[in-house]
Amino acid sequence: MLSAVVDLLCCPVCRAPFECADRTLWCGQGHSFDLAKQGYVTLLGGAGNSFRSDTSEMLSARTRFLDGGFFDPIMTAVSGNCEDGAAVLDVGAGTGHYLAAAVHHAGGRGVGLDLSKLAARQISRRSGPIGAVVADGWQPFPIADGMIDVALSIFSPRNVPEFSRVLAPGGRLIVVSPTPRHLTEIVEAVGMIGVDKDKAVRIGNSMSGHFTRAERTLVEYPIALSHTQVADVVLMGPSAFHLTERDVASRLSGYPDPMTVTVSVTVAVYQADSVTDS
């Protein structure tokens, strides 16, 4: 329902506010963007990118896995940080799973940004006041200054200056990132891309000068996954670009079915640093 969040958006060309009429977003400078028939809008800036977006197979695997409830404790931890009526922005929103839960919990509204048009289609099918936008998370967000109450970065890159710009006074950024223990049994068995042991330090360094961490919670628990579910975990993320379903099945031969797997992530809440005049 893009119409419910038009006031949160801005033109990617000139940064002017939008109006919506006849399935078109247009700004006062004459730039216009047509809505796709599925309900999302593409607001890519002029600069190109070198990143690969999610494929339909990756999104299908992610949907099956997340709908299985295996990451529900993570979803609950994220949603619990969204206050009533919050305007929520999810960058790298994927299927919109976490965004929809946050919006529902807060009784608010949300925007899901993703580079993949296939992902935007899935986000646009979510019920409630949620708008889907195709945009590059490393470019300036097509989001107006100071309009977002809660921004989400869940297993996705963090354009820290842009998060700082779009957050309203008192707003918060929620970052979910894996620890080195996350899915380690699958990493060892299959050769899935693992977690850099210095990741937490790099995240902290990237936030410096823009955000101060207010809270950090470890969410860690075991889950039992069939070999089919393990394949979905592997193939729903970047490992899908160098592993196939056949590769996963072959490498799991001899491992118990189901496997016990560790989920281990941190859910960190950041407050924007106040800016004072010199």
Please report, in range form, the residues annotated as the binding site for Zn(2+). Answer: 11, 14, 27, 31
Among the listed residues 167, 155, 134, 144, the one whose alpha carbon sits nearest the alpha carbon of residue 49: 134
Inter-residue contact 243 to 233 (CB < 8 Å): no
Query: Annotated binding site: which residue ranges?
Result: 11, 14, 27, 31, 71, 95-96, 182
Q: Cα–Cα distance between 246 and 60 in angstroms, integer?
A: 17
Residue 260: beta bridge partners?
A: 224
Q: Cα–Cα distance between 259 and 85 in angstroms, integer?
A: 40
C-alpha to C-alpha distances, 225 to 105, 253, 259, nearest whole angstrom:
28, 14, 5
